[in-house]
Amino acid sequence: MNLDGKRILLTGASGGIGEALALALAERGAHLLLHGRQPLALERLRLQLPAPERHHTLCADLRSAEGRLALIHHPALESGVDILINNAGTNHFAWLEDQSEEQIASQLELNTLAPLLLTRALLPRLTRPGLIMNVGSSFGGIGYPGYSVYCASKFAIRGFSEALGRELAGSGIKVLHFAPRATRTHLNAPEVYAMNAELGTHTDTPEEVADQLVQSLERERTRTWVGWPEKLFVRLNALLPGLVDRALARQHAVIARFAHHKEA
């Protein structure tokens, strides 16, 4: 899809990937509704974009029904939306037994329930042709120790994207799933960066991820896994999960140490 003049709702625009994405989309002539939770950060971002008067901002906690309603009823969406990008997300790196109920609920509510409900509410206002882009993760294709809840939320959004895409076949609306690997943003705690460095896991910049996401939108790619070897591991995990079990078992002690798990 040519992005020039397209009306795009971008959730999580105040985050690392969202901010880079907002810039890349605005440079292509898109009209953005930028969502986040920090009014000053969002307004600063809007003013940095080409043609700031074309863009709007809205603050809302998407874990609450009120927050989602505020977004759904924003005047900028009244006449329709061409692209919905479900990007807002959160994670908590810890063994399952070390996570509170609140931490578990928060990840599932923001990463899974909110995009499902936003998508359902906005479907009648999506133009045809229109695009829904769900930002998943390589942890939506590989179960990783310390990320059991995050993986549950991202496996779910991948299943949702695939099923809804098939449900909407022929409607003019396409559902795209885009899965970044580790990316340098505030999402990841310092111990995650330290662990990735020790394990030799590559980390992308938000700008690299935003570039690839924009290409996926322009080419309307249904499934994008960012980066080697993650792309390969996702396929390997689907075909020969026992191999990945063994590879991750070898990293178990290191991962447990960075997750500050008491038995490590």
Ligand X SMILES: NC(=O)c1ccc[n+]([C@@H]2O[C@H](COP(=O)([O-])OP(=O)(O)OC[C@H]3O[C@@H](n4cnc5c(N)ncnc54)[C@H](OP(=O)(O)O)[C@@H]3O)[C@@H](O)[C@H]2O)c1
Q: Is 193 a catalytic residue?
A: no
What part of residues 179-218 is at the interface with ligand X (CB under 6 A)?
Answer: 180, 182-183, 185-188
Least distance in Å: CB of 137 to ligand X? 4
Pick between residue 41 and residue 127 the one whose CB is nearest to ligand X: 41
- Nearest-angstrom CA–CA distance, 258 and 264: 9
Residue 6 C-beta-side C-alpha neighbours within 13 Å: 26
For ligand X, which stretch binds (CB under 6 A), given 16-24, 123-131, 212-220, 240-248?
A: 16-24
Give ∠ CA 57-60-61 in degrees, rounded to 5.
150
Residue 170 burial (C-beta neighbours within 10 Å; 0-12, 13-18, 19+): exposed
Residue 21 C-beta-side C-alpha neighbours within 13 Å: 33
- Nearest-angstrom CA–CA distance, 45 and 28: 16
Residue from 34, 49, 62, 210 in contact with ligand X (CB under 6 A): 62
Pick between residue 109 and residue 162 the one whose CB is nearest to ligand X: 109
Pick between residue 119 and residue 137 the one whose CB is nearest to ligand X: 137
Residue matched to tokens 């603050």: 59
Least distance in Å: CB of 170 to ligand X? 28
Residue from 70, 72, 74, 90 in contact with ligand X (CB under 6 A): 90
Question: In the complex, which residues of this chain contact ligand X (CB under 6 A)?
Answer: 12-18, 36-38, 61-63, 87-90, 110, 135, 137, 180, 182-183, 185-188
